[in-house]
Amino acid sequence: MTQLNHEARETLRSAGITPGQWAKRHGYESAKDWRGDECGCTDDRCIGYHHDATDECGCLPALIEELRRDERKLTAARPVWAAHVRAVESGTAEDRAAADQLADEWAAEYNPGAVWHSLTPRGIVYRNQWNDRTWLIYDADRDSIEAADVTDETEISA
């Protein structure tokens, strides 16, 4: 198992992230279980592949920014989902229009490659301009930002 090096730990600390939180963000139980590279990149061959051993890792700052973007996206998705739940419960055209408007604005802001999006029982899904697949991008049950392929229609409505 790889341990995060001093520079990675300092970069994470400066961002307000502990090594344990970083490891959990990427599917590990703790920092002791970290299997990414020691520079903090999730690619375990980063040093020597993305950058030389003597150079700083450019991946870690980009991954931290991606985390921050996902946090902003999640914060913005919650009122969209709350409006959707209100619309489902009330059944009124006004509530549906309000939820759809919020979803349109959220998709335009956080998923600019979307060619289509929808509020479904499972969460917010979209199709992007690069492939003909449907992606769950907000999982309502887990209250999380996702990138799960749900092209099978039964997965969308589940």
In the chain, where the domains are located? 6-57, 67-157
Q: What are phi and psi of 39, to 5 degrees?
A: -80, -5
State whether residue 147 is helix, strand or coil. Answer: strand
What's the whole-model pTM score?
Answer: 0.80
Residue 146 CA to residue 124 CA, distance in Å, equals 10
How confident is the model at residue 13, as a pLDDT? 96
pLDDT tens-digit series, residues 105-135: 999 999 988 999 999 999 999 998 888 889 9
Span 15-23, mean pLDDT?
Answer: 94
> How far are the Cα atoms of 23, 45, 69 from residue 33, in angstroms, in the given order?
7, 16, 25
User: Which residue shows structure tokens 């799960």?
Assistant: 148
